[in-house]
Structure 1
Amino acid sequence: MSTPVVDRPREDPGQGPGTSGRLRPDRGHGRGSRALLYLTLTVLALVFLAPLLWALSGSFKPRGDIFATPPRLLPTSPTLENYRTLLTEQPFWTWFAISTAVALIATVVSVFVCAMAGFGFAKYRFAGKRVLFALMFSSLSIPFAVILVPLFVLLVKAGLGNPWFALIVPWVAPAFGIFMMQQFIVQSVPDDILEAARIDGCSEARTFFTIVLPLLRPSLGALAVWTFLQSYNSFLWPLVIISDTSRATVPLGLQTLFQSENRAYDLVLAGSVLATVPTILVFLLLRRQLLEGLAAGAVKG
Structure 2
Amino acid sequence: MNPGGRLGLLARRCLLYATLAALLAAFTAPLLWALSGSFKPRGDIFGYPPRLLPDPATWHNYRTLLSDQPFGRWFLMSTVVALTATAVSVFVCALAGYGFAKFRFAGRRLLFGVMFSSLSIPFAVILVPLFVILVKTGLGSPWFALIVPWVAPAFGIFMMQQYIVQGVPDEVLEAARIDGCGEFRIFLRIVLPLLRPSLGALGVWTFLQSYNSFLWPLVLVSDSEQYTLPLGLQTLFRAENRQYDLVLAGAVLAVLPAVAVFVRLRRQLLEGLSTGAVKG
Whole-Å Cα distance in 1 between the matches of residues 261 and 10 of structure 2?
Answer: 35
Of 175, 178, 202, the residue aligned with 2:154 is 175
Partner residue in 2 for 1:220: 199
The answer to whether the aligner puts 1:100 opposite 2:100 as a matched pair is: no
Q: How many residues align?
A: 280
Q: Which moved more, 1:63-72 or 1:257-266?
A: 63-72
Per the alignment, in what secondary structure is the counterpart of residue 299 of structure 1? Answer: helix
Corresponding position of 2:58: 79
Say whether residues 1:36 and 2:15 are aligned partners: yes
Task: Give 2:17's aligned amino acid.
Answer: Y
User: What's the counterpart of residue 116 of structure 2?
Assistant: 137
Structure 1 counterpart of 2:99: 120
Matches within 5 A, 1:223-262: 223-262=202-241
The match for 1:268 is 247
Aligned with residue 292 of structure 1, among 264, 268, 271: 271
**Once the 2 structures are TM-superposed, how far is the Cα of residue 285 of structure 1 from its aligned partner?**
0.9
The question of whether the paired residues in 1 share the 8 Å contact of 2:142 and 2:226 is answered with no
Superposed displacement of residue 70, structure 1: 2.3
Report the TM-score, using the length of structure 2 for normalisation: 0.97
- Partner Cα separation in structure 2 for residue 158 and residue 92 of structure 1: 31
1:208 aligns with 2:187: yes
Give 1:35 deviation, angstroms. Answer: 1.8
1:48 corresponds to which letter in structure 2? F
CA RMSD of aligned residues (A): 1.4
Change (3 A) 1:164 1:25: farther
Paired residue for 2:171, among 181, 192, 213? Answer: 192
Deviations along 1:109-131, whole A, 9 cap, x unmatched? 00000000000000000111111
Q: Over residues 180-229 of structure 1, what are the superposed CA-to-partner deviations in whole Å (9 max), with x where a residue is unaligned?
A: 00010011001111111111111101111111111000000000001111
- For residues 121 and 18 of structure 2, the distance between their equivalents in structure 1, rounded to whole angstroms, comes to 38
Please name the residue that 2:133 is paired with: 154
Q: Note if 1:280 corresponds to 2:259.
A: yes
What's the CA shift for 1:24?
9.4
- 1:31-88, CA deviations, whole angstroms, 9 ceiling, x for partnerless residues? 2222222111111111111111111011011111111122222222211100000011
Unaligned runs of 5+ in 1: 1-13, 15-22
What is residue 5 of structure 1 aligned with on the other side?
none
Aligned-partner Cα distance in 1 for 2:73–2:91: 27
SS at 2:186's partner residue? Answer: helix
Matched, 1:110 2:122: no
CA distance in 1, matches of 2:236, 2:3: 63
Is the counterpart of residue 58 in structure 1 residue 60 in structure 2? no
Which has a greater percent of helix?
2
> How many Å separate the matches in 2 of 1:155 and 1:263?
34
Partners in 1 of 2:10 and 2:193 — Cα distance?
A: 41
What residue in structure 2 maps to residue 67 of structure 1?
46
Letter in 2 for 1:109: V
- SS of the residue 2:146 aligns to: helix
- How many angstroms does 1:28 deviate by? 2.4
1:262 positional shift:
1.1
Can you list the C-alpha shifts for 1:236-291, whole angstroms capped at 9, x where unaligned? 11111110112111111000111111111100000000000001111111111001
Q: Deviations over 1:141-195 (max 9, x none)?
A: 1111111111101111111101110000000000110010001001100111111
Identity of paired residues, percent? 73
